[in-house]
Structure formats: structure tokens, C-alpha cells
Copies of this chain bind each other. A is one copy, B any other.
């Protein structure tokens, strides 16, 4: 399939927006001495109790990488390790209260940082963009049901 101009422009937009969003996340993470990966781990573990291997698979990282990652987060009191009762080989990662608090703050900062950008759209356009993004990037991964957090 020969790519036309509109496809080229779209890809460009997607890539640029990705870099900008990542820039925001990187900055917010850095303010708390957290890398992008640590940020992701916190986001995942926030409402899940994955095993090391689950995390590694989900993040596309080697298990040895996870060991170090979790080590550092554990040393900071953000995460904790437990042995699985089902499989004595497995290590389950869970978030601590401190980790949860920090994660909450991170989410709020992220929202605030992106608000000026998203605020440039009206409700109608926001909805439109959300739908289009969903369509384009349909995730083949089963997303975990998020409890409707009231606020």
C-alpha cells in the first residue's frame, strides 16, 4: 500500500504528540526521581498485583531488569515483594501506601500539566479526539477494569 500524504501527516502528528506527552511524563517523573519505567510500574501496580514475570512481559523488559527496578522502588518504600502462596517460585509485587499516595500525586500533576493542551478543545472535540485515538490505537491487551473513582 502506497502511503499518501494524509497518512504521512497523521503519523507525524502521532509521533510528535507522543514525544510531547512523553516529555511531560519525563519531567514529572524527574521531579520525583522516577524514570518513565518506574512511572509505568507504579501505574500498573496501582490496582494490580502482578508477579515479576507478568510485569516483565507487560513492559517488554527482561526479568533481570525488573529485579533492579523493583529493588530500587522497594528501597524507597514505594513497592514491596511477597512470595506467592500458589507458586513458591513466584514473587508478587505490590504497592505500599506511600507508593499509592505518590502515584495519586503523579496522576494529578499529569492531568494539570496536560490540561492547558486538552483545554484547547471543546467538549465535542475532546470526545471526537478520544474516539479517534481509541480507534487508531486499539490495544490488543485486555485492559483492567478501573473502578469508577469518585473525586
Residues of B within 8 A of A119 (CB): 1, 7
Complex contact B129–A141 (CB within 8 A): no
Contact yes or no, A18 B21, CB < 8 A: yes
Q: Point out the residues of chain B lying under 8 angstroms from A113, CB to CB.
A: 141-143
CA distance A107 to B27 in the complex (A): 27
**A11–B138 touching, CB < 8 Å:** no
CA distance A114 to B144 in the complex (A): 11
Q: Min CB distance, A35 to chain B, in Å?
A: 13
Chain A interface residue count, CB cutoff 8 Å, equals 57
Q: Does A13 contact B (CB under 8 A)?
A: yes
The reply on A82 being an interface residue by CB < 8 A is no
Cα distance A11–B114 in the bound complex, in angstroms: 7
- Structural contact, A123 and B6, CB atoms closer than 8 A: yes
Of residues 137 through 151 on chain A, the ones whose CB sits less than 8 Å from some CB of chain B are 137-139, 141-145
Q: Which B residues lie within 8 Å of A72 (CB)?
A: none
CB within 8 A of A60: which of B23, B116, B132, B145?
B23
Asked if B8 and A133 make an inter-chain contact with CB atoms under 8 angstroms apart, the answer reads: no
The 7 closest A-B pairs by CB, nearest first: A18-B21, A13-B133, A18-B18, A129-B132, A24-B143, A17-B137, A27-B143
Residues of A with Cβ closer than 8 Å to B?
1, 3-4, 6-11, 13-25, 27-28, 40, 60, 110-111, 113-121, 123, 125-130, 132-139, 141-145
